[in-house]
Structure 1
Amino acid sequence: MQNYFVGSDVGTTGTKSVVIDEGGNILGFSYIEYPLIMPRPGWAEHNPEDYWNAVADTIKHSIEQARIDPRDIRGVSISALAPACILVDKNLTPLQNSHIWMDRRGIKQAQWLRDNIGEARIHASSGNPIDPYYATVKLMWERDNRPELYREAYKIQTAADYPCMKLTGRAITDYSNASLFGAGYDIVNKKWDTALLEEIGLDPDKFPDSFPCDEIIGEVTRAAAQRTGLAPGTPVMAGTVDSVAAWIAGGATENGDMSLAMGTAGVMGVVHKEARFTKNMITIAHAVNSRDTYTTVSAISACGSVLRYFRDTFGQMEMLAAQSSGEEIYDLLIRLAQQAPAGCDGLITVPYFMGERTPVWDPIARAVVFGLSLSHSKSHLLRSFMEGACFALKHNYDLIQQSGIQMNWPLVLTEGGARSPFWRQMVCDMLGVPCVFMKDAKGAPFGNALVAGVGAGVFKDYSVAKQWTEIGASHQPQQENTALYRQLFRIYRNIYEDIKKNYQDLADVTGFH
């Protein structure tokens, strides 16, 4: 008898699905994109049906590519971008578009929580700060601005919950996604704080029951089977958050394991058993032993995106050169950055190009290029952008380290910017810790397939994740650079603190928030 597993990940730009076998071999893969809807400044939405259609189609294509009997699939698990807010009625029909993690419309509601509940109380219960990022704040916005939809709502669902609901007919959530509701979720006891939700003015009955990430919460219905190519009755797991699934795929499964994904944003996570939560960081229940294991997460808004921004804004000559030579544009840009010395001769970038999440949680902050002189070149500016992302990572890393959470070295780097040995060494020097590159990061869909395998009982635990990871290059800190960055970091930290009072004035003048 063959055993296969399906994992899907609903992302900000598209959905990926895979079919794997018991040996961790990817037999089928599919990816489908969908539009990001931005109807107003500060709003970011998806059509929730796009989630379902993409999950259904990518699963179907993956099964066809794998050429397997769907009856041999032992489980399905879905992760997604998080947080998100989707209201569904009693017929499980969506009432509005999903507003996602980057949506900022709940600024007033977040301020109400600070003024009336308080950061300390929210953090003590949820392990998370107050911000429009979180799903409870998004639901408060719906209540205040679309009360008729709020009254009609049966449950709130996340971007992972919605396709899971379409597969099974059950409107539930998992411990990881529930964590990112923030206010109102007791992250230690894994239950809703009904008294607090009522104090906030929200109906606790609208919040879905939460389950361990790898628990079977239902089976594929006949209608969903016809749509996806899965067999009716296939077990479906509760699922998880995209970053958690990616960390599982990269082998970050044990206490102290650390991973940094250098994608468009930079997301660094540390796995820990101890219920110790770092202020101003994101806390998520891990999918591995999700009843009592956590990930402390730092999420900077601009990481790999700074390189793309430089390419599109200042790199026209480099793009022409790349087109002429056939060279990859990012390889050419990295060589350009290498022409500048560490520290960029005193040029420092605070990389809040799109506001910032951890640890400052300032949606109206913007980037600052400090120390620019006529002696600085284009290479200085580019390297300064890259170093700025590393400064932001160091700000987060230092706070997590100070909390006393166990951190196992080396730090595992994956995705995007981590493909550059130059940028990896920069991270290593900035943090002052050894780093390794995961050569073939299989990503969140693969991690979900592992969750499905554990939930189905085929894998006894997540130890196979480490067996299937392939580590590439390793890096050690260059002490001279580390010492220099330590001095510059003090200046970097002061820049934001000294000017942050001006951001609100700027937002008031420009109208951009």
Structure 2
Amino acid sequence: MTKLMLGIDIGTTSTKAVLYNQTGNVLQQAAQEYPLYTPNINVAEQDPEEIYQAVITVIRQITNQHNDLMFVSFSSAMHSLIAIDDKDEAITPCIIWADNRSKAWATDILQHHDGLNLYQRTGTPIHPMSPLCKISWLRHEQPDIFLKADKFIGIKEFVFKRFFNQYVVDHSIASATGLMNLKNLDWDQQALTVAGIEKDNLSTLVPTTAVFTQLKQQVANQLNLDCNTPFIIGASDGVLSNLGVDAIGSGDIAVTIGTSGAVRTTLTEPRTDSAGRTFCYALTEHHWVVGGPVNNGGVVLQWIKDQLCTSEVAEAKRTATDPYDLIMQLAESVAPGSNGLIFHPFLTGERAPSWNPDVRGSYFGLTLAHKRAHLIRAALEGVILNLFTVYQALTEMMETKATMIRATGGFARSPLWRQMLADIFAVEVTVPESHESSCLGACILGLYALGEITSLEESSAFFGHSHHHQPDEKAKQVYQQLAPIYSSITADLKTNYQRIADFQAANE
């Protein structure tokens, strides 16, 4: 029997496919991007058909060379919502996590439907990202669509319906909808009542280890695969990233920064926060990932490049170098702490720990002594300081003290950012060799689903570490002084965040 494993990650900006052998070595990769439609600040949509075709494309790119697979296993972005009519046709685009149109209904749920209790039942913070809030928005503001909808599904469900003609959703994706009860692993009646739907309007719940065969013949032909190839439904990208960087042990922390970011740890049972600051999502029935996502990760670096570094972009184009390398060199020319300049990176509102879509970005402490390099370094530090506030909430819930941070995502390629992470968190940082942690996590889960490994803890055999960073004592002391100032500013500006957000909305 072949020992090749294919992990698929249906992400926000692209779908990736990574082919591994059974020891976790990468044999081949493929990726297909698709557009994000953002006609205004509150809308974030994608075409589910474009995403589906991307899935077909990347799988086919792999199977054109390797089609004798042990299995295909899936990772997917969370919180997407597609309304489907009774003819199984999509009647909305794929509304992704970044869509903010349900903000008013998130507030309504918090204030009038015991939102904290609902969060503690479902593990999903009450926020416009969640399908619970999106469905409430459709119900009240798009009633024609809501009444025509027969099902409300996510993007992975859209793909599996095409593949196997079933509406199924794994416990992991379901636990990020705000609609599944953490304790009984069933749709939560209180949440259904708030959304105004019934169980029949949602997909059938299955474990993340559920195995599907009997791929539709037409799809099998497109994918160049045998119909009986096992497909593992898998889990969400966040929890699989923990598995894919070997952060499933007590005291292990995973930090991911791509376009957005997250801080996560793994517990043996579901646990929620009394203040509602963190999420709790399923990996398996005995592995629960607790943490917090942030909107503002690599998108801040992109903003720096576009708005502050036009000369570096021009120089990079002239010399055929990477503009981000030049930007990092500028940041490295400034000492830790940016001479007292603090950047709050809330360019797209924020999720954890405040769960406030109205927060806005700002520089604090700006003086005539600050140069462009200070602005750049402070912005990079602001991303990590923001993640540190999530980490502080998370440590209150952990069973043991954090002993290791395993870093992944595009930022993990930057030595400067990795060292900032070690200095601000004051914990050793390691970076696994594989950057595509969600695809690897999906394959490890696939091995477990098929009985090739007996526990997820065996995943440590798949990893080496390409980089290690110890906290620098001097830098650590600087950040320990700045971090409380960073947090108190966020709290002090809470009222004015709403005022400026209202002003911006009224003057678009």
**TM-score normalized by structure 2?**
0.94
1:57 is aligned to 57
1:344 touches 1:380 (CA, 8 Å); kept in 2?
A: yes
CA-to-aligned-CA distance 1:211-267 (integer Å, 9 cap, x gap): 111122553121221222221132322321112222222222334432111222222
CA-to-aligned-CA distance 1:116-174 (integer Å, 9 cap, x gap): 21232112201232111111111112222333332333322112221122111110101
1:110 is aligned to 106
Once the two structures are TM-superposed, the CA of residue 105 in structure 1 deviates from its matched residue by 0.7
Instruction: Please show how residues 181-200 of structure 1 align to structure 2 within 5 Å.
Output: 181-182=177-178, 184-200=179-195
Write the distance in 1 (CA, Å) between the matches of 2:3 and 2:433. 27
1:85 is aligned to 81
Q: Number of matched residues?
A: 506
Write the distance in 2 (CA, Å) between the matches of 1:327 and 1:440. 24
CA-to-aligned-CA distance 1:45-97 (integer Å, 9 cap, x gap): 1111122211112111111132x43xxx3322222111111122344322211
2:138 is aligned to 142
1:283 touches 1:294 (CA, 8 Å); kept in 2?
A: no
Once the two structures are TM-superposed, the CA of residue 292 in structure 1 deviates from its matched residue by 2.7
Residues 36-45 or 355-364, more deviating: 36-45
CA-to-aligned-CA distance 1:442-475 (integer Å, 9 cap, x gap): 3322322332232223333334532221202222
CA-to-aligned-CA distance 1:160-191 (integer Å, 9 cap, x gap): 22112211111010111111111x32112211
Once the two structures are TM-superposed, the CA of residue 408 in structure 1 deviates from its matched residue by 4.4
The question of 1:152 aligning with 2:148 is answered: yes
The question of 1:295 aligning with 2:300 is answered: no
Residues 22-31 or 291-300, more deviating: 22-31
CA-to-aligned-CA distance 1:417-444 (integer Å, 9 cap, x gap): 2222222111111111111122332332
The question of 1:75 aligning with 2:67 is answered: no
Write the distance in 2 (CA, Å) between the matches of 1:189 and 1:254. 24
Residues 291-300 or 350-359, more deviating: 291-300
**Aligned partner of 1:409: which letter?**
T
Write the distance in 2 (CA, Å) between the matches of 1:128 and 1:149. 25
1:168 is aligned to 164
**Aligned partner of 1:466: which letter?**
S
1:298 touches 1:358 (CA, 8 Å); kept in 2?
A: yes
2:429 is aligned to 435
Write the distance in 1 (CA, Å) between the matches of 2:484 and 2:222. 56
Once the two structures are TM-superposed, the CA of residue 26 in structure 1 deviates from its matched residue by 3.2
1:88 touches 1:157 (CA, 8 Å); kept in 2?
A: yes
The question of 1:395 aligning with 2:389 is answered: yes
Write the distance in 1 (CA, Å) between the matches of 2:321 and 2:384. 26
Residues 28-37 or 389-398, more deviating: 28-37
SS of match in other structure, 2:128: coil
Write the distance in 2 (CA, Å) between the matches of 1:15 and 1:42. 24
2:266 touches 2:290 (CA, 8 Å); kept in 1?
A: yes
Q: CA RMSD in A?
A: 2.1
**Aligned partner of 1:227: which letter?**
Q
2:504 is aligned to 510
CA-to-aligned-CA distance 1:7-45 (integer Å, 9 cap, x gap): 211111111123333232333322111111224430111
The question of 1:352 aligning with 2:368 is answered: no
CA-to-aligned-CA distance 1:381-423 (integer Å, 9 cap, x gap): 1111111111101111111112244354210112222222222
**Aligned partner of 1:43: which letter?**
V
Write the distance in 2 (CA, Å) between the matches of 1:65 and 1:21. 14
1:176 touches 1:241 (CA, 8 Å); kept in 2?
A: yes
Residues 141-150 or 379-388, more deviating: 141-150
The question of 1:219 aligning with 2:214 is answered: yes
Write the distance in 2 (CA, Å) between the matches of 1:96 and 1:47. 9
1:329/1:200 Cα in 2 relative to 1: closer, same or farther (>3 Å)? closer
1:249/1:284 Cα in 2 relative to 1: closer, same or farther (>3 Å)? same
Instruction: Please show how residues 424-503 of structure 1 align to structure 2 within 5 Å.
Output: 424-503=418-497
**Aligned partner of 1:93: which letter?**
E
1:164 touches 1:236 (CA, 8 Å); kept in 2?
A: no
SS of match in other structure, 1:213: coil
The question of 1:235 aligning with 2:230 is answered: yes
2:23 is aligned to 23
**Aligned partner of 2:63: which letter?**
I
1:44 is aligned to 44
Percent identity, please: 27
1:254/1:286 Cα in 2 relative to 1: closer, same or farther (>3 Å)? farther
Write the distance in 1 (CA, Å) between the matches of 2:321 and 2:49. 39
The question of 1:3 aligning with 2:3 is answered: yes
**Aligned partner of 1:340: which letter?**
V
Question: What are the ranges of 5 or more consecutive residues in structure 1 without an aligned counterpart?
Answer: none
The question of 1:366 aligning with 2:360 is answered: yes
1:33 is aligned to 33
Write the distance in 1 (CA, Å) between the matches of 2:75 and 2:20. 16
Of the candidates 214, 237, 242, which is equivalent to residue 247 of structure 1?
242
1:330 is aligned to 324
Once the two structures are TM-superposed, the CA of residue 282 in structure 1 deviates from its matched residue by 4.2
1:204 is aligned to 199
Once the two structures are TM-superposed, the CA of residue 479 in structure 1 deviates from its matched residue by 2.5
**Aligned partner of 2:76: which letter?**
A
CA-to-aligned-CA distance 1:334-359 (integer Å, 9 cap, x gap): 12112211111111111111111101
Residues 211-220 or 104-113, more deviating: 211-220
1:310 is aligned to 304
Of the candidates 95, 98, 101, which is equivalent to residue 97 of structure 2?
101
Write the distance in 2 (CA, Å) between the matches of 1:355 and 1:207. 29
2:251 touches 2:404 (CA, 8 Å); kept in 1?
A: no
SS of match in other structure, 1:65: coil
Residues 239-248 or 173-182, more deviating: 239-248
SS of match in other structure, 2:70: strand
Write the distance in 1 (CA, Å) between the matches of 2:300 and 2:98. 17
SS of match in other structure, 1:78: strand
1:137/1:502 Cα in 2 relative to 1: closer, same or farther (>3 Å)? same
**Aligned partner of 1:102: which letter?**
A
**Aligned partner of 1:444: which letter?**
S
1:282 touches 1:298 (CA, 8 Å); kept in 2?
A: yes
Residues 101-110 or 500-509, more deviating: 500-509
Write the distance in 1 (CA, Å) between the matches of 2:257 and 2:194. 39
2:404 is aligned to 410
